Amino acid sequence: MNLWKVLASLICLALTLPSQAQNSPQDYVNAHNAARKQVGVGPIAWDAKLASYAPSYAHKRAGDCDMIHSGGPYGENLAWGSWDMSGIEAVKLWVDEKPFYNYNSNTCAPGKMCGHYTQVVWRNSLRVGCGKVKCKTGGAFISCNYDPPGNIIGQKPY
């Protein structure tokens, strides 16, 4: 086999393998901690137990990728994108809800969502684990789970 055929085979293989860029545990943690730092909240850490739970649930949704929460014992943020969304992009979607959160009234702007953002920055959530699957219907589904869970009614995130 000549060099060009070898290179062409390697390129084809690289294009078909799933990319791990921006989907590593550290990528998820860094994206969370950047948002947490902005509001003076301590860092969150990757947790092996949650990192097992999140992808297990994500795989259950791979057939339809419906945005249905697991109902499990942890806090949970879900994201779906019609593209091969990265973990960093999912966290950004949640953090982009920040302008809709009013700290003084501890509420979201009318007709807007902000609970994903408040879970990301919830001061008592110390551990996170995330998982991603490619949807059979197209796109990607990402689940991040938090322990202890956030968004406790009557409490502020920070």
Sequential pLDDT tens for the chain (158 residues): 333 332 233 223 333 234 456 899 999 999 999 999 999 999 999 999 999 999 999 999 999 999 999 999 999 999 999 999 999 999 999 999 999 999 999 999 999 999 999 999 999 999 999 999 999 999 999 999 999 999 999 999 99
Q: What does the alpha-carbon distance between residue 158 and residue 147 come to, in Å, rounded to a whole number?
A: 16
11 assigned to some structural domain: no
Backbone angles phi, psi at 9, to 5 degrees: -65, -40
CATH number of the CATH domain containing 134:
3.40.33.10
Domain extent at residue 121: 40-67+74-147
pLDDT of the residue at 34: 98
Q: What is the domain count for the chain?
A: 1
What is the DSSP secondary-structure string of 67-130? ------SSEEEEEEESS---HHHHHHHHHTTGGGEETTTTEEPTT---HHHHHHT-TT--EEEE
Q: Is residue 47 part of a domain?
A: yes
Q: What is the pLDDT of residue 123?
A: 98
d(CA 103, CA 27): 27
Say how far apart CA 15 and CA 18 lie, in whole Å: 8
Residue 4 lies in a domain: no
Residue 153 lies in a domain: no
> How far apart are the C-alpha atoms of 28 and 88, rounded to whole Å?
6
Per-residue confidence (pLDDT) for residue 111, from 0 to 100: 98
Q: What is the pTM of this model?
A: 0.85
Q: At what angle do helices 87-95 and 25-38 cross, to 10 degrees?
A: 20
